[in-house]
Structure 1
Amino acid sequence: MQIKLLFLLLTTCLSLNTLAQKSQSSILVQGKVVDKSTSKPLDYATIALVNKEDKSILAGGITDSEGTFSIKSPHTNIYIEVSFLGYNTVVINDFKITGSIISLPNIEVQPDQEMLTEVTVTAEKSKTTFELDKRVFNVGKDLTSAGGNALDVLNNVPSVDVNIEGQISLRGNTNVQILINGKPSVMASANTIGTIAADMIEKVEVITNPSAKYDAEGTTGIINIVLKKEDQEGLNGSVTLNVGHPTNRSVGLSLNRRTNKFNLFSQLGVGKRSLLSTYNGETIDRQKTDPKPLFNSGSGGRDEQFYNVILGTDYNINPLNVITLSGHFAYEIEDEYADTHYDRRDANNQSIGASDRNEATEATNPKYQYDLSYKKSFEGNKDRSFTASFVGSYFGKDQSSEYTNTAVFGDFNDLFQRTTNDYSQANYSFQTDYVHPFSKISELESGIKYEINDISNDYELLDQTNNGWVSNPDFTNLFNYDQRVLAAYTTYAYELQKFGLKVGLRIENTNLNTFLQTTGEDNNINYNNVFPSVHSSYKISDELSLQMGYSKRIHRPNMWDLNPFTSISDNLNRRSGNPELQPEFTDVVELSAIQIWGLATLSASLYHSKTDDVVTRVISVQDSLTITKPYNLGTSNNTGLELNASVDPLKWWSIALDGNWVSFSRTGTLESNDFDFSNTSWSSQLTNKFKFPFDIEAEVRVDYQSKVEGVQGISDDRIYADFGVKKKFMKGRAVVNFSVRDVFKSRKYINISDQDTFYRYNERLRGAQQAVLGFSYGFGKGDAMEFSGHKMF
């Protein structure tokens, strides 16, 4: 069945690409564009030749350094639009044709002061807009994200939270799918999402209730990170320099060249940064008759060097056919270290044993992704289109570590270990989408997708003995994970001026094979699922709108969830997967309202989700050894209310407040242990932005997360603040920026598990207070990049 669908996909691509275009006699349009007030020529002004019948753009181009242009048009039934950033658009309907040539007199354009003011305000402020089945967070120039990465941007997005380990959650749930430019990407994995620079992001789409068009993966929803791709004609670019503490040095260059046929774009970056951490904890095994607590404390860090290249091009074959080819490559060098002191104590809190552990890790990470897509539009209906795309990506990690455990006194032993880890992940996806509008109010969309995910993890642990370094078979394995997902979907949308409805259905077939070579364990799973979706909207007035949605989602266990092999993070913590895990399934219903009062906006969402076979990581303690393993544990029900408000009380001051309250309950048992519980939690984010004289701006953001109860423990509440300030020069072409994240060093993550059989306390402060000073300069029509202080990929 899969082969037949792929054959149909390729046949459709070839057939549509060979559709004949109408042959028409052409004419030549030529002229010159000048500033009305100064009579100086304007280079890089945009010229569009527009069809009078259907308003489609037949051809276009830009003016040269002398302000002149010369463009061919396929026929004469046209009008001419002349536009330039910050100037009023000029429309020309009256012209003469002499010998197949339209020779225009000087076209005078004048600045639009009102437009320039609007552009400046819009560009500086992040805003959230609403569509039928998603919310769009348009990234402005948030000062607290300057010099940061995608994780810093996501921390500004309503409904999204990023914890100290870089784990992303949507409305408190980590089962969320991350996309890059609408597609799955190895760059969006937990290991690499933090390496995308903040200045590379144009917008973030938050889809809490996705339609059938999107992959069903991710029980909470989808976060789609859309990267910038300059579309200004001519040569544009910008350069950035950054320095920070802890170590944060980088240089970035962005270049873009656009012509009538081609759009060439590139990003280059190189840098170095350090992340520091401190931690402490306590573990008690209550199953012992005389339990003795084990305390640990220490510090560590990670040094990274990174090199990034992004190259791509759009080729406009003709007004109806476009091909896009792009490639990303990154190479990282990592050095990680940690020094931990262990202290065992008796009932009188007296030390009875101590040990020191030193860890040193080196790794190199090559990453790349390539993307080839073809889009065909149809003459006479610009909204009708066919798209075919292929995406390939690879992420590798060649890592080696050395561990030294030195007994200070007591019952601890010396232990010397080495590990090597060779990890590779290759993803490939083939997809076609066809959009067919029946009219201005109804549209059908359908598509097919085939995705391949191949992962290999080769891990070895070596113990030092009298005979030298000897491989430990209990902690050495090769695990292969191969997953194939074949999907087909269709959606139908019907949208009037006040009412809109979108229904959809998606069918997915999953074929998964895992193989643990060390033990010969082989698991094959094949299953089919149907995912319906319904979305509607109703516009009560220009100021008040309502939205409603329902969708069904899936969360498939990943490689680490399924790998039965036991891995060690240190000699007192071990993790293993569970090959018997089943996927989670979630049903979500959501009702939202958006109200606008002049300078103030309020949106509210009431939602409920039910998840079956919840994947839960269960902790057990045996003689101070902590073991973590995932299981399917019952059902969860979450009901939440989310509020997002923004207001501009003064021209120089704007306020944004986001809050989310959730009531949740869990039911489930494991080996006669009851894991039922219920509780509530809430989070909020307050952002203040200020505009001062002399082009100086400042921003202060405060985040709060309440105490959250889990299956086996509690995460303590936390509050932290970020600050940023910037100064513009040369009419915005140059910018100096200074930002401080976690101003008061209060972003601590504290987890407490107080169980009948064990007690664990963990406190970690990682990547704490960071300060970045940056400079950016834009040339051509490029704007200052607002600083790429971290890795792009």
Structure 2
Amino acid sequence: MKYLIQQVWLLLMIVSWSVCAQQSTKVVGVVKDKASQQPLEFVSVILLDAESKQPLTGTTTGVDGTFVLGVKKTNFLVEISFIGFKSLRLQPEVKNAYVNMGTLWLEEDAEQLEEVVVRAEKSTTEFKLDKRVFNVGKDLTSAGASAIEVLNNVPSVNVSIEGAITLRGGQGAQILINGKPSVIASQEGNALGTIVAEQIEKIEVITNPSAKYEAEGTAGIINIVLKKSEKKGLNGAVTLNTGSPNNHSIGLSINKRTQKFNFFGQLGVGKRTFPNTVSTLNRNKVANNEITSSGKGNKHEQFYNLSLGTDYHINDKNVITLSGNVAYEIEDEDSNMRFEEYANRILQAAYTRAEVTEATNPKYQYELQYKKDFERHKEQYLLFSALGSFFGKDQSSTFSNEVTAGTLASNSQRTRTDFKEARYTFKLDYVHPLNDQYTIETGAQYVLNDVSNDYAVSSLIGGNWIGNPGLTNVFEYYQNVLGAYATAAYEGDVWGIKAGLRVENTDLRTVLKTTNQEHTQQYTNLFPSVHTSYKVGTGFSLQAGYSRRIFRPRLWDLNPFFNIRNTFDIFTGNPNLLPEFTDSYELTSIHKIGKASVNFGLYHRYTTDVIEDVSFYNTTTNVTTRRPENFGTNAITGLEANYRWGITKWLTVNGDVNYNWFNRKGQFDAANNFDFNGTRWDTKATAKLKLPAQFDFEMTGNYQSSYKTAQSTIKSNGFVNVGLRKKLLQGKLIVNLGVRDVFATRRRASITDQPTFYSESNRARGRFFTLGVSFGFGKGEAMEYAAQKRF
């Protein structure tokens, strides 16, 4: 399959070269907001036949407001339109094969401003050369939800109830905030939980990143872009949410734009509860005994999130941005688990294990950014940023056992965790267009990561708390990554190509303080990338890409100490883990057929030194221990389709389907050969209905098939979300009612069946009800979702 994809890639390149020489007229320009003087992104630019007025070709403007189009005819019209603004229709004078429209100014249309609010209520997906952009609207099922829940609505992305994020079914996706790594984007400790849906502007999914991006993330990159506005004057929106179980929050978004300054800020405060139902089974096939556990628990969170920032426009070519974010969480967790021990199916002992956990999680982030534009070319710029962030966790837990059957002695334990993570990122990017077709980019990035995890366990013996040195340690983790890249791109009327190379040096050190065990790794790697695109026609285009990626083990993969929540089913890290490397190939096509648009993709990923959890069963203690290990390779080939179909004016359906098959090869040790093949697939679909009296209804279904891992089978899972919206006060006031997991079917279940042991694990959360009210002032939601200038 790898050879086949390489041949398809070569054929596409040959075809592209053969057609790129076709002559046509190139039309370029830039669109700006006349009031704010800022570029407008996503503006529709269409070329029309001057006589028939039929569309010839079209595009949307980029982040900097620019557009590039190619057309065979010389007698044509240029139509510029953007919701909330007055449209333009111009007929340029064509003297040669290059038409520069210059700067095109759009004026706001007061009669259309209310329509901008309507536009902001729906999430939409855009397909670009190297990524898909999910613009986050006011989805009915996302009101009051965290970033974790919003990600579940994004095509190609799935999130388990434990918060594990997969991209096209693969783990190892790199999560970024505003294009940069951040501890706020960490998948550990529910760091993404402090970001709520109302704060998110869009989510970019990059399945095959170019060399410009950090090489981390074998599955690709998920970039969460937070809202920021530059609308003139004072604007804002306020949102209130309430729900059951216990889901209450208030959010405020505000900005003030003057001639030189743009001040922006967001505030989020809330509290929520996540119930859990858990059950496990460990069976010793040799001794014919087993241990079962089952119970319920609740995780209560209070969160506070404040973001502030300002842009200072020194002049029209130089901008300095200073921004910061402070978040604070208070967690309380309680659970009761019943454990039963059987021998030859006869109950031997039973006890209840109660847990009470308290934690505080401070987080903060600050950034200084400078951007310089140049007179020579509108797309030439220099961008520097310095970013610092911190994430802490001060947690204590108490576990008490009460024996209800048998002769076991009751006992109590408690744990203490003091976790600190600091990350500093310095980034420099320079873009230099040689002309309107050729562009080179270069830059560098230095990321420093410093983590300390102080974990202690003690037992209540004779009325005194006695420390357990075998389960107590301080684990320190230091990782510095220095990277540099260069890319070169050609973009013609119908064909384009972009190639690049990135080099990264990784310096990793871990230390177990109590035992003075130290592990160091240092390695330098090259990460090439190639992307190309070919426009077959106005409704059909092809794209292809290749990139090499890396997945570096994270703290919890390396830390050998564990949580004692379930003493018979534990997870430990492995400080000897090596990074994974993945070669990723992709061929995609984009079709527009009437009111429908479909994106098809064929992809192949080949990964070496695969990291996968391996279970070890102790037949004496009946304890199952899971630990990540490096072994073997994994070849994944998949097909994916994303679609959107406006069936009628009142019914729209969109969704995605992903199917892949994999060939796993791995010899863990002399007794464990993990060679096997398998398939997995998942799909999600959303139907949006416009009802009378300005009511809207939405239903989203999500299904993931069962699939194999090295030792286990993960069971299938499906759930449904629904929502209802009512607009009031001409759309300025919006009321949402949502139900997530309507049938309470969302779960995480796995089975491990080995020669000497059998185990099961099940976890579920149940349904959530939410009621949300949002109100925009100034230009309100138009401020948040329309003309935006991103840096």
Tell me if 1:522 matches 2:518: yes
Tell me if 1:173 matches 2:170: yes
Q: Which residue of 2 aligns with 1:581?
A: 577
Structure 1 residues 601 and 146: alpha-carbon distance in aligned structure 2, compared to 1, 3 A threshold: same
Separation in 1, partners of 2:302, 2:396:
17
Q: Which residue of 2 aligns with 1:369?
A: 365
Separation in 2, partners of 1:173, 1:612:
14
Structure 1 residues 308 and 665: alpha-carbon distance in aligned structure 2, compared to 1, 3 A threshold: same
Residue-by-residue CA offset, 1:444-502 (whole Å, 9 max, x unaligned): 11001111000000011111112611111001101110111111000111110110100
Matches within 5 A, 1:707-746: 707-746=706-745
Q: Which residue of 2 aligns with 1:780?
A: 778
Contact 1:199 1:786 in 2 (8 A): no
Q: 2:374 aligns with which of 356, 364, 378?
A: 378
Query: Per the alignment, in what secondary structure is the counterpart of residue 244 of structure 1?
Result: strand
Contact 1:653 1:690 in 2 (8 A): yes
Matches within 5 A, 1:284-295: 284-286=283-285, 288=286, 290-295=287-292
Amino acid at match of 2:626: T
Tell me if 1:207 matches 2:196: no
Q: Which residue of 2 aligns with 1:37?
A: none
Structure 1 residues 660 and 48: alpha-carbon distance in aligned structure 2, compared to 1, 3 A threshold: closer
Separation in 2, partners of 1:312, 1:658:
36
Separation in 2, partners of 1:89, 1:657:
31
Matches within 5 A, 1:99-498: 111=109, 119=116, 122-190=119-187, 191-286=190-285, 288=286, 290-347=287-344, 349-466=345-462, 468-498=464-494
Query: Per the alignment, in what secondary structure is the counterpart of residue 650 of structure 1?
Result: coil
Amino acid at match of 1:158: P
Contact 2:235 2:783 in 1 (8 A): no
Q: CA deviation at 1:126?
A: 2.2
Q: Which residue of 2 aligns with 1:763?
A: 762
Larger mean Cα displacement after TM superposition, 778-787 or 712-721: 778-787
Amino acid at match of 2:574: N
- The structure that has the greater radius of gyration is 1
Separation in 2, partners of 1:90, 1:212:
38
Contact 2:116 2:782 in 1 (8 A): no
Contact 2:236 2:779 in 1 (8 A): yes
Report the count of equivalent residues: 694
Q: CA deviation at 1:84?
A: 11
Q: Which residue of 2 aligns with 1:18?
A: none
Contact 1:543 1:597 in 2 (8 A): yes
Separation in 1, partners of 2:725, 2:516:
59
Contact 1:699 1:723 in 2 (8 A): yes
Separation in 1, partners of 2:191, 2:85:
41
Q: Which residue of 1 aligns with 2:57?
A: none
Separation in 2, partners of 1:412, 1:418:
19
Amino acid at match of 1:46: A
Separation in 1, partners of 2:748, 2:782:
35
Q: Which residue of 2 aligns with 1:669?
A: 667
Amino acid at match of 2:388: G
Query: Per the alignment, in what secondary structure is the counterpart of residue 276 of structure 1?
Result: strand
Q: Which residue of 2 aligns with 1:618?
A: 614
Q: CA deviation at 1:284?
A: 0.6
Separation in 2, partners of 1:742, 1:589:
35
Q: 1:46 aligns with which of 35, 49, 53?
A: 35
Tell me if 1:644 matches 2:645: no
Structure 1 residues 90 and 584: alpha-carbon distance in aligned structure 2, compared to 1, 3 A threshold: closer
Q: Unmatched 5+ residue regions in structure 2?
A: 1-32, 40-80, 90-105, 786-791
Structure 1 residues 785 and 167: alpha-carbon distance in aligned structure 2, compared to 1, 3 A threshold: farther
Q: Which residue of 1 aligns with 2:750?
A: 751
Separation in 2, partners of 1:761, 1:235:
56
Q: CA deviation at 1:48?
A: 4.3
Residue-by-residue CA offset, 1:748-780 (whole Å, 9 max, x unaligned): 2211111112111111112x2001111111111
Structure 1 residues 394 and 669: alpha-carbon distance in aligned structure 2, compared to 1, 3 A threshold: same
Q: Which residue of 2 aligns with 1:502?
A: 498
Residue-by-residue CA offset, 1:265-300 (whole Å, 9 max, x unaligned): 1111221111111122211122x3x32121111000
Separation in 2, partners of 1:218, 1:615:
13
Separation in 2, partners of 1:90, 1:278:
58
Separation in 2, partners of 1:365, 1:580:
29
Separation in 1, partners of 2:128, 2:781:
28
Q: Which residue of 2 aligns with 1:659?
A: 657
Q: CA deviation at 1:716?
A: 1.1
Contact 1:735 1:786 in 2 (8 A): no
Identity of aligned residues (%): 49
Q: CA deviation at 1:86?
A: 3.5
Residue-by-residue CA offset, 1:421-446 (whole Å, 9 max, x unaligned): 00000000111100000111111110
Structure 1 residues 609 and 758: alpha-carbon distance in aligned structure 2, compared to 1, 3 A threshold: same
Larger mean Cα displacement after TM superposition, 135-144 or 625-634: 135-144
Query: Per the alignment, in what secondary structure is the counterpart of residue 698 of structure 2?
Result: strand
Q: Which residue of 2 aligns with 1:545?
A: 541
Q: CA deviation at 1:184?
A: 0.4
Structure 1 residues 691 and 403: alpha-carbon distance in aligned structure 2, compared to 1, 3 A threshold: same
Q: CA deviation at 1:550?
A: 0.3
Structure 1 residues 777 and 116: alpha-carbon distance in aligned structure 2, compared to 1, 3 A threshold: closer
Structure 1 residues 317 and 209: alpha-carbon distance in aligned structure 2, compared to 1, 3 A threshold: same
Larger mean Cα displacement after TM superposition, 671-680 or 536-545: 671-680
The TM-score with structure 1 as length reference comes to 0.84
Q: Which residue of 1 aligns with 2:92?
A: none
Separation in 2, partners of 1:87, 1:480:
55
Query: Per the alignment, in what secondary structure is the counterpart of residue 217 of structure 2?
Result: coil
Query: Per the alignment, in what secondary structure is the counterpart of residue 605 of structure 1?
Result: strand
Separation in 1, partners of 2:782, 2:247:
19
Q: CA deviation at 1:110?
A: 8.9
Backbone CA RMSD of aligned residues:
2.4
Contact 2:229 2:783 in 1 (8 A): no
Residue-by-residue CA offset, 1:703-761 (whole Å, 9 max, x unaligned): 11111111111111122100011111112111111000000111122111111121111
Contact 1:735 1:784 in 2 (8 A): no
Separation in 2, partners of 1:49, 1:163:
40
Separation in 2, partners of 1:120, 1:263:
22
Separation in 2, partners of 1:325, 1:680:
48
Query: Per the alignment, in what secondary structure is the counterpart of residue 363 of structure 1?
Result: strand
Separation in 1, partners of 2:378, 2:261:
20
Q: Which residue of 2 aligns with 1:678?
A: 677
Separation in 2, partners of 1:595, 1:164:
34
Structure 1 residues 403 and 781: alpha-carbon distance in aligned structure 2, compared to 1, 3 A threshold: same
Q: CA deviation at 1:624?
A: 2.0
Query: Per the alignment, in what secondary structure is the counterpart of residue 380 of structure 2?
Result: strand
Tell me if 1:600 matches 2:596: yes
Separation in 1, partners of 2:204, 2:593:
24
Contact 2:432 2:440 in 1 (8 A): yes
Q: CA deviation at 1:111?
A: 4.3
